[in-house]
């Protein structure tokens, strides 16, 4: 999903919005830390359906979203390439926020 002014959500292997299994084969608990906040664009955080329901889906913020603190587990930040995030945010989407043309993450570097 690409929700302009909010987030880019991904990690849905089937592309149908239902998500997938975590690397542990089950949902896993939230992990919150006071230094990890949704305080800027480029925060990577787990999407969930409520407390302790993390699976495979995650999102990248396109703006600061402090209302998501202590509701979604932050696990990283984009340190280079935010222009790509903004380009994805400009994608044309349908009424369910799904891009009209597929957008795929082909390669990333984790530091």
Number of other CB atoms surrounding residue 40 within 10 Å: 13
- Whose CA is closest to 30, among 52, 46, 3, 2? 52
Q: Is 111 a catalytic residue?
A: no
Q: Is 75 a catalytic residue?
A: no
Q: Is 33 a catalytic residue?
A: no
Q: Is 58 a catalytic residue?
A: no
Could you say which of 28, 36, 68, 77 is catalytic?
68
Backbone angles phi, psi at 61, to 5 degrees: -75, 150
Q: Is 9 a catalytic residue?
A: yes
Could you say which of 9, 38, 54, 57 is catalytic?
9
Could you say which of 6, 28, 70, 77 is catalytic?
6
Which residues have a catalytic role annotated?
A: 1, 6, 9, 48, 59, 68, 72
């Amino acid at each position: 999903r690409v929700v302009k002014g909010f987030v880019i959500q991904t990690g849905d292997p089937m592309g149908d919005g239902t998500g997938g299994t975590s690397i542990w084969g089950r949902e896993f608990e939230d992990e919150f830390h006071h230094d990890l906040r949704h305080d800027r664009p480029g925060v990577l955080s787990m999407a969930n359906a409520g407390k302790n329901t993390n699976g495979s889906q995650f999102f990248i913020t396109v703006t600061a979203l402090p209302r998501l603190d202590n509701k979604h587990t932050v696990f990283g930040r984009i340190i280079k390439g935010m222009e790509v995030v903004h380009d994805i945010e400009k994608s044309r989407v349908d009424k369910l926020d799904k891009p009209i043309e597929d957008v795929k993450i082909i390669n990333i570097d984790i530091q």
